[in-house]
Structure 1
C-alpha cells in the first residue's frame, strides 16, 4: 500500500487523489510532529496564563467577548462541535470525506493551530482504517470556513454522530470501536481548529480540478473525432494562426488536435470541400484553450490552498502569539470554483453543438440522426435532446455562488463566501460535461462509420477502436442509454486517454 507523508507543506493533487480514491495510507513526518507539539505548548501556555485569545479563552463569533475559564474549556470545545453539526442534504461521497479529513490533517500538521498530536493521529487512524464520518453536503457558508460539515466530520472522533465502516453505516462510537480507534476528549482550541477553514470546499474542488484536467483531454479527442466525421478543415489548426494570438491553451489545443489527426484520411484542407467550417469545429482551439487556461489557473489556486493555514486564530510559536484573522474565509476558492464551473460548462456547450451538426442532415450530409432507414428508426435524435438538457442545466449551475453573501452570527460574520456551494456546483457541472462528451464521442464514431472510415488519425484511431470494442455501430434502434453509459465509463476510468497515449505517445499535453 502506497503511503503519503504529511508535512503540511508538500501535499499534491495527485496525492489527494491517491488517498481519496485509491486508499493510500498517510503518516506524519517527524518535522510535522515537532511543529504540532510546539504549537500545542503555546496554546497550553495561553490557557495557563489566562491570556485573552479568541476561541481559546473566549467564546466564538458573537460570543468572542465572553471569557471562558480553564475549567470550562473542554466543555466549550465539545459544545462547539455538537451545536455546529447541523448540516443538510445527502452525504458526501466517501472519496470527498477522505479528502476532507486529509486536508484537515495537512492543515493542522503545519503547526499553526495548536491541536494535540493525539487528535491529529486519530484522524490519521480514521483514514488508514477507513472510518468515514457521514457528512451532509449542505450547510456551509464558506466562512468561518466549512463549520457545519466539518463538525459532522468530528462527531465520531468524540463518540457521537454516524460513520461508515466496513461497508455499513453505524453510530460513530461503534465505528470507532470496531476499527480499534479510541475516541478522544477535545481540549482548549481543538474544536475550533478542527472545524475552522476550507477543507470541505477544497476537497470537493480539488477532485473536480483533477477530473477537469482529464476532461479537457477528452474534449480534444471528442472534437478530433467530430472533425473526422464531418471532414473538418484542419487548416484552422495551423500553428501560424494561433501563434499570432498566443494564449497557451489555444496554442496547445491546436497542436494536440493536429497530432491526434495526423495521418487521418477523413479530414480536409481549406477549399477542398468548403472554405471554412462552422465555429463549433473551427473555433475549437479558442474555446477549449480558454477553458484549459481557466482550469490551470484554478489548479494553481488549489495547490496553494491545500498547503495553507485556514484556521483562526493562528498560533505563531516563534513569537508566542495567537492572532485573529480571516484565513478561514473561502473567497479565494469560491471565485476559483465558480470559474472552474464556467470553464467546464463551455466544454459541454461546444460539444453539444458539434453533436447537433452530426445528427442534423442539413448540416452534416449524413443520414438524419445518424441512422439508415429513418422514420422507422429514430437513431440518435434524442441523444441530442439529452445533451441539450444537460448543457442548459449547466447554464443554471454556472451562475456564480460567490456573488452572494448572507450575514451570520449576529452580523459579526457579515460577509461569507459560499465557496462550498461553488465547489459542489462545479462537481455537478463536471459530471454533466462528462456525459455530453460521451454522447459526442459515440455520435462521432457513428458518423465516421456512415461516412466510410477511410483511415483515422494516429490519436483518434485507437479511441475509435476502444469505443467499438464495447459499443457496436447502430444499424437499427436499440436502448442507447446503455451505450452512453459504456462510453462514459471509458472516459471515467481514463481508458480513452490511456489507449490514445499508448498508440500515439504523450500528445495530450
Structure 2
C-alpha cells in the first residue's frame, strides 16, 4: 500500500472526462463528474460505433423476424412467457416499441431524494456500461444523458424502490422519464430550481428521448445507482479513515501514549500491508510530539504509577484498522470493475465473444444486472464506519477518566468548572452513537426476500445497504468531530500553566494544522456549557467535500 491507493483524492488538473468504451473510467472520473460537474464527452472509434450499431441492427432484424427476445417482444420478469411477436414486420416493431415504453411501470422510486452527486454518478456510469455496444442501445439515446449532465440538469430520484436484482430499475426509470421530458417528472436545473422535466430540458435545448425496441430495458436494467452510491461512499470512507488516523494520533498525544506501539518490527514480522500502511502513518503523525513518548530508539522511564504499555485502543490501532485498509483497496478494485462492466439483460454476442460454433449477434439472458458486488462492498464499508465510531468512543472514554488519562482532570474540566463534568454529556452522547452504529453495521446481503411473482428470488439490495451507510457515515463523522474537539481540550489542559497558545507547540509538527483548524472556531472550554453547537459546527465542516479534502491533503503528503 502506498500513495497510489489514495491518488484519486488528489487533483490531476483534468478539465473534462472522456468516455471511449475502453473500460477505463476511474473512481476519480466519477467523482469529478458527480461533485465537480466537469464536462463529459463521448469519443468512440469508428469500430466501437459500428459495434453499437451492429447490436442494434441485429436486434431490430430479430424483432422484425419475430424471434422471441426477452423484454423486447416478451413481457418482463415473471411474465416472460407472454410473447408479443405476431403480425407483419411493421406491427412487430410497433409492439416492441410499446413494450419498451411499458418498462416505465417500474418508475416507483419514492422517499427522500437521492443526493445530486449520486444521481449524476449513476447517469455517467449507466452510459459507460452501455458503450461496449452489446445492449442494442443507440448512441444517440446515450447522448441525451450526457447533455443532461453537461447542462447540469439532475432528475429528482427517490431513495426507496430498488432491490438491486434487475439492477436499480426504479431509480433508472426516473432518469428515463426525465429524458423523455414527462411533465410529471421533476428535475433540478443548474440554478438549483425545481422544474418539470419537459420545461427544463426544452429550455436547455435538449431533444426528447423516444424509445425504440429494447431501449427502455437497456437504459434501466443495470446496477449503476448502486455502483454510484458505492463509489461516492468509498471516497467519503477513505477520507474519513485518513482523518480518523490523524485524530487517533491526537488522542495518543493527549493521553501521553507512545509511538513505540508502531515500531516497524511489528509489521515486519506480521506482513499485512494494511498494518504496515497504518503504522507508517502513525509514526509520521507522532514524530516530534512533546506529549507522546518518542521511543523509536528505546523505552523511556515513566512516572510512578504510569503504565509501561498503552491500552488496546491505542497500541493496537494499526492492527485494528489494517483489514479495513486492505478491504478498501479491494473495494476500490471491485467498484472500478463494476463501473466499466456491461450491466444489462439481455445482451447480444459480438463475434469476438462467440463460442465455438455459435453464430454471432444472438441474444443472451443472464444476471449481469445483479448488484451483489456493490451490496457486499457497501456492507463492508458500513462495518468500517462502525469501527471508526467505536474506537472514538473508547478514546473519549479514556480522555475523560482520571484513572486512564495520565493526569488530565475529570471530564476534561478546567479549574473553573464547579461540577468537573464539562465533557460528561458529550461522552454519554458518544455511547448512544456507538450503539446505533453497531445496529447500522448489520449486513444487508443476508437479508433478502422473494419478490416479483417469485421471479426475483435472489436479490442484492445495494441501495438499501447504502441508506444504512449514509446514516452510519453521519455517526462516524460526529464521532470524529467529537474527538477533534475533545483532543484539543486535552492538549490545552496539558498546557494550562503555559502561556496561551502553547498547546499547539506540544503537538507533533504533522498534527499542528488540526489545532489551527479547531481553534479557528472552537475555543478552549473553561466553563461548563452546552457543546452541541460546537459539535455541529465541526461535523458540518468535515462533511463538506472541499474542507475534508483540505484536511486530508497534509496526510497524503506524509505518504510521499
- State the TM bucket, normalised to the shorter chain: over 0.9
Kindly indicate whether residue 84 of structure 2 is the aligned counterpart of residue 65 of structure 1: no
1:237-386 maps to which residues of 2 (within 5 A)? 237-268=262-293, 269=295, 270=299, 272=302, 273-318=306-351, 319-364=360-405, 365-372=407-414, 373-376=416-419, 378-386=421-429
- 1:488 CA drift (Å): 2.8
Deviation at 1:377, TM superposition (A): 6.5
Q: Is the 8 A contact 1:291 1:347 kept in 2?
A: no
Quote the offset at 1:39 in angstroms: 2.3
In the TM superposition, what is the alpha-carbon distance from 1:500 to its structure 2 partner?
6.7
Q: Partners of 1:91 and 1:254 in 2: how far apart?
A: 40
Of 225, 228, 239, the match for 1:203: 228
Which string of whole-angstrom CA distances, capped at 9 and with x for unpartnered residues, describes residues 390-444 of structure 1? 2211111111111122222221222111122112222321222112111111111
Residue by residue over 1:449-474, the C-alpha shift from the partner in whole angstroms, topping out at 9 and shown as x without a partner, is: 10123522121112222222222211
Number of residue pairs matched by the alignment: 507
State which structure, 1 or 2, has the greater radius of gyration over its C-alpha atoms. Answer: 2
Aligned residue number for residue 36 of structure 2: 22
The equivalences for 1:394-433 within 5 A come to 394-433=437-476
Give the corresponding residue for 1:164.
188
Structure 2: which 5+ residue stretches go unaligned? Answer: 1-13, 85-91, 352-359, 496-502
Alpha-carbon separation, structure 2, partners of 1:343 and 1:289: 11
Whole-angstrom distance in 1 between the partners of 2:553 and 2:373: 35
Aligned with 1:274: secondary structure? coil
Match status 1:461 vs 2:477? no
* Cα deviation digits, residues 236-263 of structure 1 (max 9, x gap): 1111122212211111111111101111
Where 1:428 maps in the other structure, the secondary structure is helix
Helix, strand or coil for the counterpart of 1:354? Answer: helix
Q: Report the secondary structure of 1:305's partner residue.
A: helix
User: CA offset at residue 501 of structure 1?
Assistant: 4.8
Q: Distance in 1 between matches of 2:520 and 2:325?
A: 30
Residues 352-373 of structure 1: per-residue CA shift (max 9 Å, x gap): 1101111222321312221213
Residues 78/144 of structure 1: CA separation in 2 closer, same or farther (3 Å cut): same
| Distance in 2 between residues matched to 1:476 and 1:377, nearest whole Å | 9
Provide the C-alpha distance between the structure 2 equivalents of 1:28 and 1:496, rounded to a whole number of angstroms. 31
* 2:541–2:547 contact (8 Å) kept in structure 1: yes
Please provide the CA RMSD for this pair.
Answer: 1.9
TM-fit CA distance, 1:7:
2.1
Deviations along 1:299-335, whole A, 9 cap, x unmatched? 1111110100110011223221210001111112212
Structure 2 residue 161 is the aligned partner of structure 1 residue 119: no
Question: How big is the shift at 1:3?
Answer: 1.3
Distance in structure 2 (CA, Å) of the matches to 1:215 and 1:52:
51
Kept after mapping to 1: 8 A contact 2:274/2:322? yes
**Counterpart-to-counterpart distance in 2, 1:494 and 1:167:** 19
| Secondary structure of the corresponding residue to residue 5 of structure 1 | strand
Gap runs ≥5 in structure 1: none
Q: Residue 44 in 1 paired to residue 86 in 2?
A: no
Partner of 1:133: 155
Instruction: Tell me the alpha carbon deviations over residues 117-169 of structure 1, each in whole angstroms, 9 at most, x when there is no partner.
Output: 22101100111111111111011111011111111121111122221223122
Secondary structure in 1 matching 2:363 = strand
1:307/1:170 Cα in 2 relative to 1: closer, same or farther (>3 Å)?
same
Please state whether the residue corresponding to 1:78 is helix, strand or coil: helix
The answer (yes or no) to whether the contact 2:375–2:463 under 8 Å persists in 1 is: yes
2-structure distance, mates of 1:219, 1:203 = 24
TM-score by length of 2: 0.87
Q: Report SS of the residue matched to 1:17.
A: helix
Shift in alpha-carbon separation, 1:77–1:505, aligned structure 2, 3 A: closer
Q: C-alpha deviations, 1:20-68, integer Å up to 9, x for none?
A: 1110111111235444333222222222222222112211111212222
Checking the alignment, whether the CA contact within 8 Å between 1:347 and 1:433 is kept in structure 2 is yes
Match of 1:30, SS state, is coil
C-alpha separation between the residues in 2 aligned to 1:323 and 1:485? 52
Contact 1:217 1:508 in 2 (8 A): no
Task: Please state how far the C-alpha of 1:84 moved relative to its aligned partner.
Answer: 0.5
The SS at the match of 1:137 is strand
In structure 2, do the counterparts of structure 1 residues 497 and 238 end up closer, same or farther at CA, with 3 Å as the change threshold?
farther
